[in-house]
């Protein structure tokens, strides 16, 4: 079972952090190990996932889309229907319950576009914990609505005016806070990234998606899907749905953000174009220049706009258990409109990347074949972005 005891997936992962942070990570690792199979903890988490998050999320047969494309049957795993509108709450509820069991009274998080900050502030409010969210000043300006949401939920939002004033700088400040306060505080990481044990914990909390899918397909007498497709930012929704299928017949496909094209440098196709490097406490693939400096990235989907990727995906790429492709901004926007028009479901722009690949793949398959797409979130948040991109929607 991966990771190994030191937190490595093959050669990737580990714990590349300042010495002062090691005791905090060891405490979390130990608490998680003790609690993860504890029946009371599992029951409490199941309770919140069912009655608060709204799980199980439906598996929906996209009949209109399948018929239009004339190939494989397309099923959508509806993480967009979760409370707060994406898969992120599966992880923040799990980690917040862990923090509470550890006796911590405050959650610390870093956020880029604000989605993870909102999911953390939500879990904190539900469990009666304090919450501090660090957000770069540039992001805070771009994502004012999410900042306001976090404040409504009772979180303290600290805007960071250092460096590029984005996620990287917010993460540094969040870790600085955590190093000096971990006796009473817990650091919440929002994707399958960061130092051990985070990639493992986040994967396990998100794997509820894949385990539910297995049951739902069994109920439909579908032994295994032919393809499972998910978008990859840090990689948590993807590893969550892939995990129970890693040694199955299913073809697992991760879709990164191709932005304005791989050659343009305006993308975040970390696995396609990156190479080995350390970011946020773990060794993985990384978009970096020849001097090892982290490169600027671009995606129309804020949740995919990240120069790194979780270490387990680096391992899965090298071992060829998962295949990774990328999809451009333009293709993602087309898919966003297509799903909205044909199924009445507005997907998150992140999820629209996975969908765009499926739209290309489905016509080449037969009607007996099954594609499952992880719809990681809902797209209401992206309406303005899409409208700007296409210069207003034409209502034909
Ligand atoms: C944050 C986010 C993502 C990307 O994060 P992963 O950890 O790669 O899953 C994808 N979809 C939505 C809707 C998000 O909010």
- Catalytic residue status for 236: no
Cα–Cα distance, 193 to 201 (Å, whole number): 10
For the cut 60, the answer to whether the pLDDT of residue 178 exceeds it is yes
CB of 111 within 6 A of ligand 1: the answer is no
Domains of the chain are 8-49+88-202 (3.40.50.1100), 56-85+207-390 (3.40.50.1100)
pLDDT of 395 strictly over 60: no
The reply to whether omega before 56 is within 30° of 0 (cis) is yes
Best probe residue, ligand 1, of 377, 378, 381, 385 (max atoms within 8 Å of C-beta): 377
In angstroms, the CA 305 to CA 167 distance is 10
User: Measured in angstroms, how far is the CA atom of residue 92 from the centroid of ligand 1?
Assistant: 13
CB 352 within 8 A of CB 335: yes
360 is catalytic: no
* pLDDT tens track for 26-49: 999 999 999 999 999 999 999 999
Q: Where are the beta strands (DSSP E) in the chain?
A: 8-9, 12-13, 59-61, 73-78, 106-111, 130-136, 156-160, 185-188, 227-231, 251-259, 275-279, 282-286, 323-328, 370-375
Q: Which of 80, 110, 231 to mutate to test the pocket of ligand 1 (most atoms within 8 A of CB)?
A: 231
- Per the DSSP assignment, residues forming a β-bridge with 110 are 134
Distance of CA 75 to the CA centre of its chain: 20
Taking the centre of ligand 1 as the mean of its atom positions, its distance from the CA of residue 136, in whole angstroms, is: 18
Q: Is 303 in the pocket of ligand 1 (CB under 6 A)?
A: yes
pTM, two decimal places? 0.97
Say which residues have a Cβ less than 8 Å from residue 365's Cβ, sequence separation at least 6. 71, 72, 226, 371
Q: Read off the pLDDT of residues 111-156 as tens digits, 9 standing for 90 and up.
A: 988 999 999 999 999 999 999 999 999 889 888 999 999 999 999 9
Confidence of residue 396 (pLDDT cuts 50, 70, 90): very low
Q: What is the pLDDT of residues 262-313, one digit of tens each?
A: 888 899 999 999 999 999 999 999 999 999 899 988 999 999 999 999 999 9
SS (H, E, C) 104-160: CCEEEEEECCCHHHHHHHHHHHHHCCEEEEEEEHHHHHHCHHHHHHHHHCCCEEEEE
Q: Is 354 in the pocket of ligand 1 (CB under 6 A)?
A: no
Is 267's C-beta closer than 6 angstroms to any atom of ligand 1?
Answer: no
Distance CA 262, CA 266 (A): 7
Give yes or no for residue 7 CB within 6 A of ligand 1.
Answer: no
């Amino acid at each position: 079972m991966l990771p190994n005891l030191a937190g490595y997936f093959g050669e990737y992962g580990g714990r590349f952090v300042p010495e002062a942070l090691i005791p905090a990570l060891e405490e979390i690792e130990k608490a998680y190990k003790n609690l993860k199979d504890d029946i009371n903890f599992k029951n409490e988490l199941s309770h919140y996932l069912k009655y608060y998050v709204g799980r199980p999320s439906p598996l929906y047969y996209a009949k209109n889309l399948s018929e239009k494309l004339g190939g494989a049957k397309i099923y959508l795993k509806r993480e967009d229907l979760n409370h707060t509108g994406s898969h992120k709450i599966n992880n923040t509820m799990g980690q917040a319950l862990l923090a509470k069991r550890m006796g911590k009274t405050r959650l610390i998080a870093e956020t880029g576009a604000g989605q993870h900050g909102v999911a953390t502030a939500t879990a904190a409010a539900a469990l009666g914990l304090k919450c501090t969210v660090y957000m770069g000043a540039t992001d805070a300006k771009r994502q004012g609505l999410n900042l306001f949401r976090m404040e409504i939920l009772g979180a303290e939002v600290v805007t960071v005016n250092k460096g590029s004033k984005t996620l990287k700088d917010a993460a540094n400040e969040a870790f600085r806070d955590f190093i000096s306060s971990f006796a009473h505080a817990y650091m919440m990481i929002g994707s399958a990234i960061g130092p051990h044990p985070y990639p493992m914990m986040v994967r396990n909390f998100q794997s509820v998606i894949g385990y539910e899918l297995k049951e739902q397909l069994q109920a439909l007498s579908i032994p295994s899907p032919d393809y499972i497709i998910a978008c990859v930012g840090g990689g948590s929704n993807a590893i969550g749905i892939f995990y129970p299928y890693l040694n199955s017949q299913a073809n697992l496909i991760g879709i990164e953000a191709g932005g304005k094209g791989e050659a343009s440098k305006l993308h975040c196709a970390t696995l396609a174009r990156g190479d080995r490097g350390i970011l946020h406490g773990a060794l993985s693939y990384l978009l970096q220049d020849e001097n090892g400096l982290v490169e600027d990235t671009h995606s129309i989907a804020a949740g995919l706009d990240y120069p790194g990727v979780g270490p387990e995906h680096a391992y899965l790429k090298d071992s060829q258990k998962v295949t990774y492709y990328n999809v451009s901004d333009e293709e993602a926007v087309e898919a966003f409109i297509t799903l909205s028009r044909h199924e009445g479901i507005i997907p998150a722009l992140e999820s629209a990347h996975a969908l765009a690949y499926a739209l290309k793949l489905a016509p080449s398959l037969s009607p007996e074949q099954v594609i499952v797409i992880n719809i990681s979130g809902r797209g209401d948040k992206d309406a303005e972005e899409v409208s700007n991109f296409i210069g207003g929607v034409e209502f034909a």
